[in-house]
Amino acid sequence: MNKELVILLLSWIVCLFLLIKFIPKEKKRYFQIIFLFAHATAWIFQLIQVNMKLVSFPYREFEQATKMSFSLYYLVLPTFAVFFILYYPEKKNWIRVWIHYLIFSNGMHLYMFLIERSSDLVHDIDWHWWFAVSIDLIVLYLVKKFAFWFRKGFKE
């Protein structure tokens, strides 16, 4: 088994374990919607990155189907987004909220950076950390806006 496959399997196992273990049972449906929205948003940004030749994915699960990474943007990034919303500091000051945004956006980029340095899953062609963190901040902001908008429809 090559290291790319091991990394992907470990990512799937860890993400699924975290989602199953830490998402409250009474809120599973809400977080499934957040997961799907984060997944769709991440795929749009990934498609733009790949088509602009900023990032490439030498090792892909579905080589014939797409030039994008399936696992990284189907499971890993949406898992980060779910935990971003799960632990979002509502009713806190703006400094605490910004720290929360920075922790999660830098955490996502750190994960991608480590994968890029240790495997052939991701290859940054013309992709800089500040740009990646900015895109991650935008994705997290969109996910937060959607999640809070969607939650307004719930009966308390």
pLDDT tens track for 38-74:
999 988 988 888 888 888 888 888 878 778 888 888 8
- pTM of this structure: 0.91
Instruction: Please check the confidence at residue 20 and state whether its pLDDT lies above 90.
Output: yes
Domain spans in the chain, listed from the N-terminal domain onward:
3-7+28-149
Q: Which of 145, 148, 125 is nearest to 137 (CA)?
A: 145
β-bridge partners, 124: 55
Residue-wise pLDDT for 80-111, tens only, equals 999 999 999 988 899 999 999 999 999 998 99
Residue 91: what pLDDT? 85
Which CB contacts under 8 angstroms, 24+ apart, belong to 59-63?
59/4, 59/119, 59/120, 59/121, 61/8
Q: Are 39 and 74 in contact (CB under 8 A)?
A: yes
Q: Are 52 and 68 in contact (CB under 8 A)?
A: no
Residue 57: what pLDDT? 86
Residue 115: what pLDDT? 92
